[in-house]
Structure 1
Amino acid sequence: MDVQNKHIVVIGAARSGLAVASLLKRKGAKPFVTDRNELEPSVCSRLAGQEIPFEHRGHTEKAEQGDFAVLSPGVPTEAPLVQRYLNSGKEVFSEIEVASWFNRTPVVAVTGSNGKTTVTNWMDHTWNLAEIDHHTAGNIGYAFSDTIDTAQEKQAVLLEVSSFQLDHIRSFHPRISLLLNITPDHLDRYEHNFDKYAAAKFRITENQSSGDWLIYNYDDKTIAGHVESLKKKEDAPRLLAFSGRQELSGIDGAFVRDQQIILTFNREEEILMPTTDVNLSGKHNLNNGLATALAARASEIKSDVIRESLSSFEGVEHRLEQVRTVGGVRYVNDSKATNINAVWYALDSFKVPLTLILGGRDKGNDYRELADQIREKVHTVIAIGEATPMIEEQLKAIVPHFKTADTMNEAVRLGKRNAKRGEVVLLSPACSSFDMYENYQHRGNEFKKAVNRL
């Protein structure tokens, strides 16, 4: 896409929006940034310093005058301004699509309902151990657009990619894509239609061809169905499957046999390492490790480096993060668990009685899907945020003790009052944070502050 002298409207002045506006300015375009919210003075100063015109506290007619629009991931397709562009026949692109126009470095892109932050960081750890120069960006850290000026000097760009970022791509093309899992999430952004949400995730493979790799979860039926349709393409990407549940026969990928991780390439098996040597616990983290190992192998990273990575990676902040033990009770921050499936995996990681802090802004959850895990392990649920009435309606009769809290500090103190030595108080909300906090990191940090006050 030639952007020289094009008038391009960037909708949303969050991290990605600011990054793509700056990139477009550097590439000779005439970006205009619009945001319906009030911008921080530092953001206004940043835009003014780059001579990028902007507006905030609402959208004026200027916002409709772009040759095309670029969206920050937080802006839904249903937003009136976006719809006006689409209805007028003008194109709308995501930030990662625009960044990809100027990228000349192989992209490894990870998506999925759960685990994508862990896998992206795990790959970053692996690439560091392999001493491969790279950027790690996308839905974590900093925006893809921020990597462009130096990416030509790098050997890889590792991207965490959300469904929102994939909604408006056209030519975005990962050399290696990873589909970890697809479970109901963000359905409020997809008309409460799971198939539409899954279709957005599948777009990561849209422009891949026979010179590329797709690494996918063999055990996920939704993904497996998509892979079967991909196989019918004449120039389908090369496939690598991973499974934590069953041995893979006749296909390349990674699986477990007799507590050993097995890698298969070109139908030749290699015993990589014992599963007991993987540093992160839990079945979901075993899957994350298998996916990471395959991405590394597809990038020609040696097995000894992969072994070292799987045995030394310590996880990411706000994902089953051990905060502190007080009076024999462990406090665990899983603020990044913003959907039901993530909470299910979190509960599956513990074998001791739990107090569970749930809630925030609901995204169309059915909390009853946690019923079996709660009956088995959770004696107290503490609900917070806007979702409290829904959580109470669906879970109060299931859990022995149900409580509500107005603040995180109150929730943590209730947790302390109800938990006994040897137990765990777990923040694993199943909801977005935007009713009370700026983001899940802010929520997790407030939880940690509250725990450290005990």
Structure 2
Amino acid sequence: MAGRSRVVILGAGESGIGAAKLAQLKGFDVFVSDYGVITDKYKAALEKLSIPFESEKHTEELILNANEVIKSPGIPSTAPIIKKLVEKGISVVSEIEFAKRYTNAKVICITGSNGKSTTSLLTYHILKNAGLNVGLAGNIGQSFAAQVATEDFEYYVLEISSFMLDDMFRFRADIAVLLNITPDHLDRYDYKLENYAASKMRIIQNQTQNDVFIYCADDEESIKALMHIKPLAKTYAFSIVKEVETGAYLKAETIHILTEPNKELTMSISDLALQGKHNIYNSMASGIVAKVLELRNDTIRESMGNFKNIEHRLEHVAKISGIDFINDSKATNVNSTWYALESMTTDVVLIMGGVDKGNDYSMLKDLVKSKVKAIVCLGKDNKRIHDAFEDDVDVIVNTFSAEEAAQIAFHLAKRGDAVLLSPACASFDLFKSYEDRGNQFKAAVREL
């Protein structure tokens, strides 16, 4: 086997396993290392492919001999193993960067502090309905690398986080969308908003005048960042407060999308499937992408009118006494709960817990401190949640049924708050599946 280039993958989650599949397919000598516990599903996937791996440790002599390392977005650049790799001059990239080398598909990359998942799903929905051969990846769905290895899509809609962008260097987006920049997980950015903003702006790195950049003209931090970085790409802005020349704007309850003269799409906001101010922005961004790709107006309108956000993924259940109840039962890992909390704009009563898969809750700490007023545990053994967050929230309560969890959360919340079921754990201690957990929660909310 001498002479084969060695690729080491750090982190054996969805993106790590996908990267391992693609690297093996491309003839690399592959090794996977995870400092945490590798789930049975991903262990089985690696065993099936006969890819060597290690769990709950990083063995330096098996990692520091890599030609290149692909790291999970969850691993910060301050992790000791990453520092050692950088000191040795070993290239460390994201799965997205690695996978992009092996596809000629057009990539539509969507980033922002809030609304990424919804906008990515809506954009994918519009493109798919218009008959394009399109995949959905990044922070959402199946890993990009796994799809590059096994599918033959001509377009990809990629939901991209700042953590991914930090490990992207040569990657180029054909269409880049920046929804907004709000102060978020600044612990990874030396507590400086400008560092986080610079990370988000990497979405336009390597773009040429043949590419497209779409941004929000109402977002203060995006505008500030654009004063320092001039995009080479063709730019389109969207706004709900002023008219823009090319892009999208709101006037008299109607969205106007104009990517070139005399080719305007108009749509009443009451016809949009996604309601709420933040969703007008998301719909505008998706609509501009569709117009840039020259899809037909009636196709775009139809898709923007019939889109359904996936069940059990940040699904709005009801508003009771001014409290929003949100079902995110599909969040069976810490990462998903992190995204759910990241998207919240109000104080949150968080319902979490279940079968803990060796979760590292530390990545949630800052979001819990800033947004969560109480945690309602829903599971048989909640000790690790208490240990993780006892210093960050005033109230942590144990419950053992969806009904009990919904009732207690309702009492802990006040008008204007949100009750969010986003468990960060598997459901099998009390429920048949995450769908069963979500459905029982929804039924319990409707009984309140």
TM-score normalized by the length of structure 2: 0.81
Give runs of aligned pairs for residues 331-410 of structure 1, distance below 5 A: 331-333=325-327, 338=339, 342-344=343-345, 356-358=348-350, 362-365=364-367, 382-384=374-376, 386-387=388-389, 389-392=391-394, 404-407=396-399, 409=401, 410=404
Q: Residue 101 of structure 2 aligns to a residue in which SS? A: helix
In structure 2, distance between residues paired with 1:43 and 1:369: 32
Q: CA deviation at 1:113?
A: 0.9
Q: CA deviation at 1:413?
A: 2.4
Q: CA deviation at 1:88?
A: 1.3
Give runs of aligned pairs for residues 7-406 of structure 1, distance below 5 A: 7-60=6-59, 61-149=61-149, 153-231=152-230, 236-248=232-244, 251-268=245-262, 270-318=264-312, 320-323=314-317, 331-333=325-327, 338=339, 342-344=343-345, 356-358=348-350, 362-365=364-367, 382-384=374-376, 386-387=388-389, 389-392=391-394, 404-406=396-398
Compared with structure 1, are the counterparts of its residues 225 and 418 closer, same or farther at alpha carbon in structure 2 (3 Å cutoff)? closer
Q: CA deviation at 1:192?
A: 2.6
Compared with structure 1, are the counterparts of its residues 428 and 184 closer, same or farther at alpha carbon in structure 2 (3 Å cutoff)? farther
In structure 1, distance between residues paired with 2:260 and 2:81: 50
Q: CA deviation at 1:243?
A: 1.0
For residues 285-315 of structure 1, give each alpha carbon's deviation from its aligned partner in whole angstroms, at most 9, with x where no partner exists.
Answer: 0100000000111111111111111111122
Compared with structure 1, are the counterparts of its residues 52 and 337 closer, same or farther at alpha carbon in structure 2 (3 Å cutoff)? closer
Alignment check: 8 A CA contact 1:324 1:452 kept: no
In structure 1, distance between residues paired with 2:85 and 2:75: 13
In structure 1, distance between residues paired with 2:322 and 2:168: 50
Compared with structure 1, are the counterparts of its residues 269 and 258 closer, same or farther at alpha carbon in structure 2 (3 Å cutoff)? farther
Compared with structure 1, are the counterparts of its residues 193 and 316 closer, same or farther at alpha carbon in structure 2 (3 Å cutoff)? farther
For residues 321-352 of structure 1, give each alpha carbon's deviation from its aligned partner in whole angstroms, at most 9, with x where no partner exists.
Answer: 244799999843257674777322xx5xxxxx
Alignment check: 8 A CA contact 1:408 1:447 kept: no
Q: CA deviation at 1:39?
A: 2.4
Alignment check: 8 A CA contact 1:321 1:332 kept: yes
Compared with structure 1, are the counterparts of its residues 267 and 10 closer, same or farther at alpha carbon in structure 2 (3 Å cutoff)? same
Q: Residue 256 of structure 1 aligns to a residue in which SS? A: strand
Alignment check: 8 A CA contact 2:259 2:288 kept: no
Q: CA deviation at 1:10?
A: 0.7
In structure 2, distance between residues paired with 1:30 and 1:6: 6
Q: CA deviation at 1:364?
A: 2.8
Q: Residue 131 of structure 2 aligns to a residue in which SS? A: coil
Compared with structure 1, are the counterparts of its residues 229 and 155 closer, same or farther at alpha carbon in structure 2 (3 Å cutoff)? same
In structure 2, distance between residues paired with 1:320 and 1:46: 28
Unmatched segments (≥5 aa) in structure 2? 332-336, 353-360, 377-384, 428-432
Alignment check: 8 A CA contact 2:165 2:203 kept: yes
Compared with structure 1, are the counterparts of its residues 157 and 54 closer, same or farther at alpha carbon in structure 2 (3 Å cutoff)? same
Compared with structure 1, are the counterparts of its residues 170 and 338 closer, same or farther at alpha carbon in structure 2 (3 Å cutoff)? closer
Compared with structure 1, are the counterparts of its residues 369 and 219 closer, same or farther at alpha carbon in structure 2 (3 Å cutoff)? farther
Which range moves more in the overlay, 195-204 or 285-294? 195-204
Q: CA deviation at 1:220?
A: 1.0
Q: CA deviation at 1:320?
A: 4.7
Alignment check: 8 A CA contact 1:214 1:240 kept: yes
Compared with structure 1, are the counterparts of its residues 261 and 315 closer, same or farther at alpha carbon in structure 2 (3 Å cutoff)? same
Q: Structure 1 vs Structure 2: percent identity of aligned residues? A: 31
Alignment check: 8 A CA contact 1:35 1:59 kept: yes
Alignment check: 8 A CA contact 1:110 1:159 kept: yes
Alignment check: 8 A CA contact 1:245 1:256 kept: yes
In structure 1, distance between residues paired with 2:312 and 2:95: 25
In structure 2, distance between residues paired with 1:154 and 1:279: 27
Q: Residue 105 of structure 2 aligns to a residue in which SS? A: coil
Superposition CA RMSD, Å: 3.4
In structure 1, distance between residues paired with 2:434 and 2:21: 29
In structure 2, distance between residues paired with 1:96 and 1:224: 26
Alignment check: 8 A CA contact 1:382 1:411 kept: no
Alignment check: 8 A CA contact 1:5 1:30 kept: yes
Alignment check: 8 A CA contact 2:413 2:419 kept: no
Compared with structure 1, are the counterparts of its residues 224 and 328 closer, same or farther at alpha carbon in structure 2 (3 Å cutoff)? closer
For residues 260-282 of structure 1, give each alpha carbon's deviation from its aligned partner in whole angstroms, at most 9, with x where no partner exists.
Answer: 11122235572511111112110
In structure 1, distance between residues paired with 2:88 and 2:219: 39
Unmatched segments (≥5 aa) in structure 1? 348-354, 371-380, 393-402
Q: Residue 37 of structure 2 aligns to a residue in which SS? A: coil
Q: Does 1:427 align with 2:423?
A: no
Q: CA deviation at 1:123?
A: 1.0
Q: Residue 108 of structure 1 aligns to a residue in which SS? A: strand
In structure 1, distance between residues paired with 2:291 and 2:112: 20
Q: Residue 172 of structure 1 aligns to a residue in which SS? A: coil
